[in-house]
Amino acid sequence: MASPSPAVEIDRLAQGIRAGDRTVLSRGITLIESKRADHRAAAAALTQKLLAATGQAVRVGITGSPGVGKSTTIDALGTMLTGQGHKVAVLAVDPSSRRTGGSILADKTRMAHLANDSNAFIRPSPASGTLGGVAAKTRETMLLCEAACYDVILVETVGVGQSEIAVADMTDFFLVLVLPGGGDELQGLKKGVIELADMIAINKADGDNLARAKLTAAEYTAALHILAPASPNWSPPVTTCSALHGDGVAALWTHVLDHRRRLTESGELAARRGAQQVKWMWAMLEERLFEPLRSDRALKGALPKLEADVAAGRLAPASAVEKIAAMLKL
């Protein structure tokens, strides 16, 4: 018997995803993450077919230093939301996952409630090893989850540095979690991350930490007053919470919904998402253009000598670029 045509397979995947079949959703995401040329074309066809069913979910990015309690916060917030009838997808952006396997795999054990919740879906970032590639795949994965009727998407930044910018660029609301502490903690958080924040939450505000958490909240509130808000329609609040005990988690979500309402009414949310879509396009194009640098054996073999010649001053960077471009037939 002849195998189904690619178009028929894409139709079946799309139907299964729209029906909320978790197994089919996982298959669709695996297709999205594949680097095979034929799979890439099929993935593009699948996302195009599902595009009309996307865009309705609340997209929340979450970041914070190691030990701040991201997994506990996601577990508490996600469980509260599924208890209210929401369907929650948890995704990760981890540019280091090629080496580590993606720490969210371990986080599944720390998200004890969500990992066993039929209304929750947890997916690690692809082992791409490049931030642009991981971020692009996570964006497409988000669309598939939305098409599968997940109405809340929580995107965790597992890596460091530019991953925070990547997550902020694919979500509607960016939550920065910090630990109770004094000025050292404030100095330790990069100014750029504060500027990205739609809300700062001091986690682990319980027991002996409660007084320090309130002091830390006051310090961050003062710091935010110095910075110009990223949005004319929203001033980032600073709150305290204890995800472990569930205190303040409902208030976090109230702020997310208030932010969504204000930006929707002003038209800013639609404009922001449109700009994000264009950024996604360029990120995927850049990934495609850089692919030969990682896959072409002849080029990979020549790169170490070119780099050594540039480093030693024997070859001008511009000349090296010309040699690489010639090999790529650009």
Give a yes or no: residue 277 inside a domain. Answer: no
Which token pair is 113? 């409630």
Distance of CA 248 to the CA centre of its chain: 23
Residue 21: strand, helix, or coil: coil
Torsion of CA 319, 321, 324, 328, to 10 degrees: -130
Q: Do 100 and 2 share a structural domain?
A: no
Are residue 77 and residue 119 in the same domain, yes or no? yes
Domain stops at, among 266, 292, 310: 266
Q: Is residue 212, in this structure, part of any structural domain at all?
A: yes
305/286 Cα distance (integer angstroms): 24
Q: H/E element holding 317? A: helix 317-327
The model's pLDDT over 256-304, given as tens digits with 9 standing for 90+, comes to 999 999 999 999 999 999 999 998 888 888 878 887 777 788 888 888 9
Distance of CA 325 to the CA centre of its chain: 32
| Alpha carbon distance 216, 229 (integer Å) | 20
| Shared domain check, 130 and 10 | no
Last residue of a domain, one of 241, 266, 291: 266
| Domain membership of residue 317 as a residue range | 282-327
Instruction: Tell me the CATH number at 256.
Output: 3.40.50.300
Residues with Cβ within 8 Å of 274's Cβ and at least 6 positions away in sequence, in order, are none
Q: Tell whether 2 and 144 lie within a shared domain.
A: no
For residues 240 and 135, state if they share a domain: yes
Are residues 78 and 135 both part of a single domain? yes
Which CATH number fits the domain that encloses residue 45? 1.20.5.170
Asked if residue 108 and residue 64 are part of one domain, the reply reads yes
Judge if 204 and 297 occupy the same domain.
Answer: no
Domain assignment present for residue 272? The answer is no
Burial 291-318 (b: 16+ CB within 10 A, else e): ebeeeeeebeeebeebeeebeeeebeee
Q: What is the pLDDT of residues 10-40, one digit of tens each?
A: 999 999 999 999 999 999 999 998 888 788 8
Comparing 92-101, 182-191, 294-303, 308-317, the range with the smallest average pLDDT is 182-191
Asked if residue 231 and residue 119 are part of one domain, the reply reads yes
Q: pLDDT of 62-94, one tens digit each?
A: 998 888 899 999 999 999 999 999 999 999 887
The percentage of the chain sitting over the pLDDT mark of 90, rounded to a whole number, equals 55
In order of 81, 173, 192, 268, the CA distances from 124 in angstroms are 20, 20, 25, 30
Give the whole-angstrom CA distance, residue 63 versus residue 229: 19
Burial class (CB in 10 A: 0-12, 13-18, 19+), 89: buried
Number of structural domains found in the chain:
3
Cα Rg, the chain, nearest whole Å = 22
Checking if the pLDDT of 231 tops 60, the result is yes
State the residue for tokens 């409660």: 210
Q: How far apart are CA 96 and CA 134, in angstroms?
A: 10
State the DSSP code for 275. H
What is the per-residue pLDDT across 199-223, written as a single tens digit (0 to 9) for each? 999 999 999 999 999 999 998 898 8
Question: Is residue 248 located within the same domain as residue 121?
Answer: yes
Instruction: Retrieve residue 170's tokens.
Output: 């694919």
Rounded Cα distance, 156 and 93, in Å: 6
Q: State the Cα angle at 59 between 99 and 247, rounded to 5°.
A: 90
| Euclidean distance between the first and the last CA atom of the chain, given in angstroms as a whole number | 44
User: Does residue 165 belong to any structural domain of this protein?
Assistant: yes
Q: Do residue 172 and residue 49 come from a single domain?
A: no
Residues 69 and 172 occupy one common structural domain: yes
Query: Is 262 inside any structural domain?
Result: yes
Report the pLDDT value the prediction gives residue 239, as an integer from 0 to 100.
95
Cα dist from 172 to 1, 262, 312, whole Å: 47, 12, 46
Q: Of 210, 221, 222, nearest to 179 (Cα)?
A: 210
The verdict on residue 276 lying in a domain is: no
Interatomic CA distance for residues 314 and 308, integer angstroms: 9
